[in-house]
Each structure stands twice: as structure tokens, then as C-alpha cells.
């Protein structure tokens, strides 16, 4: 009798242990499923963040009086003005190299501000049949401009080993301040070649070249 009772207790103990293990296993599976569900929700949220950014950029432009179409483009967002009168102004300005400087002095500051506020990279287009790229601004910093070649000129000089700061001083005139410590810099063949290469970016521009002491050392037409 005692042996049978002991055997029964042993069987019951084994069943309890097995049930406990199964319960833990089930809990782990539930936790895993919960974890997977959480990650899926996170992925869905990240997908929705792009449309929110697009809406944010559109709203910023609307506050400044511009109706726009905003789409994802490369590593940022392309902005197209949808107002036909504004687009016509852009197209007209492209023919005169932005003679009234509306694009540079009115539109560019607006795009710079919005790019900084929205922490985004904006590719601004002119609209019209050619839909020219006017400028690229990343988080408030100008990276490229159709009219202002300062950055392109500076990068060209840098590629030729000449460190400089370049600023547009007129529609087609640029002030180049040389930072490199070149010997007899105004006679340096390296500088002359670098300037020649930079000038090939746009043959219509004129350079005023200064040394580190801000003395005019050369002009390039």
C-alpha cells in the first residue's frame, strides 16, 4: 500500500514539473510574439514619418504664401511651386540670370528657413517645362545654387590644393580669399592653374583674388 502511494506521489510530481515547464515555454512564446508585434508596430511608425515630414514642409511653405507639391527625392525632398504666376516669374528670371534677384533674395531665404525648421534637405525646382533645379539646401545650409557658384568654385580650388573662402559680390563677380600659405602666392603656378580650372565652371564670371591680409593680388576675367 505504502509503495503504491509513493509511486502515485512520484507520478504526480513529474506531471507538475512537466506542466510547469510547458507553462514557462508558452510564456516565452507569448513574449516573443509580443516582441515581434512591437517591432512590426515600430516599422509601421517609421514608414508613416515620411508623409508627416512632407506635410510639415508643405505647411511651412503655405505660411510663407507658397502653394507647393512636395515629394521624396534622393536623400531629401523635392519642392515644386504650384502657383502658375510664381512659376512664370521663376522662368522669366532664369532667362535674365535672376536680374531682379527675386530667387536669391526672396525665395532662397524662405527655403533656407524651412529647411532648417524641418531639419530636411530640400531640392528646390523652378517649375515650367524645364523645371530647373534652383538650389539644394540641407538643414539650413546652402549646398548648391544655380546662380551662386561660390561653393562650386571653392570646391574646385580645394581639389587643386588651394584653400580659400569664396563669396559672391555681384551677379557674376566672386571674391576669392586665399587661405593657403603658398610662397609668392600671386606668382604661384599652382594658384594660376587652380583659378583657371575654377573659372571653367562658368566662363562668364569674374574673380577678384585676395591674399590672407585681404590685399587684392589679381583679377581674373
Regarding whether 158 and 140 lie in a shared domain, the answer is no
Per-residue confidence band for 7, with pLDDT thresholds at 50, 70 and 90: low
Strands 173-178 and 164-170: antiparallel
Structural domain boundaries, residue 182? 150-220
| Cβ pair 107, 81 in contact under 8 A | no
Report the number of secondary-structure helices (H) and strands (E) in the chain: 6, 9
Last residue of a domain, one of 114, 129, 145: 145
**How far apart are the C-alpha atoms of 205 and 173, rounded to whole Å?**
6
**Which 8-state DSSP code applies to residue 162?**
-
Regarding whether 116 and 98 lie in a shared domain, the answer is yes
Question: Is 172 or 143 the better-scoring residue by pLDDT?
Answer: 143
Last residue of a domain, one of 99, 126, 145: 145
**How far apart are the C-alpha atoms of 33 and 9, rounded to whole Å?**
36
User: Tens of pLDDT along 74-120?
Assistant: 999 999 999 999 999 999 999 988 888 899 899 999 999 999 999 99
Last residue of a domain, one of 81, 110, 145: 145
Ranges 37-46, 55-64, 208-217: which has the least confidence: 37-46
Collapsed DSSP state (helix, strand, coil) of residue 103: helix
Please state, rounded to an integer, the average pLDDT across all residues of the chain.
80
**How far apart are the C-alpha atoms of 162 and 168, rounded to whole Å?**
18
| Number of domains into which the chain is organized | 2
Give domain status of residue 116, yes or no: yes
What pTM was estimated for this model as a whole?
Answer: 0.64
According to the model, what pLDDT value does residue 220 have?
73
User: Tens of pLDDT along 171-190?
Assistant: 788 999 988 665 555 557 88
Give domain status of residue 35, yes or no: no
**How far apart are the C-alpha atoms of 207 and 215, rounded to whole Å?**
14
- Asked if the model's pLDDT at residue 135 lies above 80, the reply is yes
Regarding whether 92 and 55 lie in a shared domain, the answer is yes
End-to-end CA distance of the chain: 116
Question: Is 126 or 48 the better-scoring residue by pLDDT?
Answer: 126
Give domain status of residue 199, yes or no: yes
Amino acid at each position: 500500500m505504502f509503495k503504491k502511494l509513493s509511486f502515485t506521489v512520484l507520478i504526480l510530481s513529474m506531471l507538475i514539473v512537466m506542466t510547469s515547464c510547458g507553462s514557462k515555454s508558452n510564456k516565452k512564446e507569448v513574449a516573443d510574439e509580443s516582441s515581434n508585434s512591437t517591432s512590426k508596430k515600430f516599422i509601421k511608425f517609421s514608414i508613416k514619418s515620411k508623409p508627416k515630414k512632407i506635410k510639415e514642409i508643405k505647411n511651412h511653405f503655405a505660411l510663407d504664401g507658397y502653394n507647393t507639391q512636395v515629394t521624396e527625392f534622393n536623400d531629401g525632398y523635392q519642392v515644386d511651386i504650384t502657383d502658375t504666376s510664381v512659376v512664370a516669374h521663376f522662368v522669366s528670371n532664369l532667362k535674365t540670370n535672376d536680374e531682379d534677384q527675386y530667387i536669391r533674395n526672396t525665395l532662397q531665404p524662405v527655403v533656407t528657413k524651412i529647411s532648417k525648421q524641418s531639419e530636411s534637405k530640400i531640392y528646390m525646382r523652378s517649375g515650367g517645362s524645364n523645371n530647373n533645379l534652383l538650389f539644394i539646401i540641407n538643414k539650413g545650409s546652402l549646398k548648391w545654387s544655380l546662380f551662386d557658384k561660390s561653393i562650386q568654385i571653392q570646391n574646385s580650388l580645394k581639389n587643386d590644393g588651394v584653400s580659400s573662402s569664396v563669396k559672391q559680390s555681384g551677379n557674376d563677380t566672386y571674391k576669392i580669399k586665399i587661405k593657403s600659405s603658398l610662397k609668392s602666392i600671386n606668382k604661384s603656378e599652382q594658384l594660376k592653374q587652380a583659378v583657371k580650372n575654377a573659372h571653367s565652371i562658368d566662363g562668364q564670371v569674374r574673380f577678384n583674388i585676395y591674399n590672407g591680409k585681404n590685399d587684392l593680388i589679381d583679377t581674373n576675367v
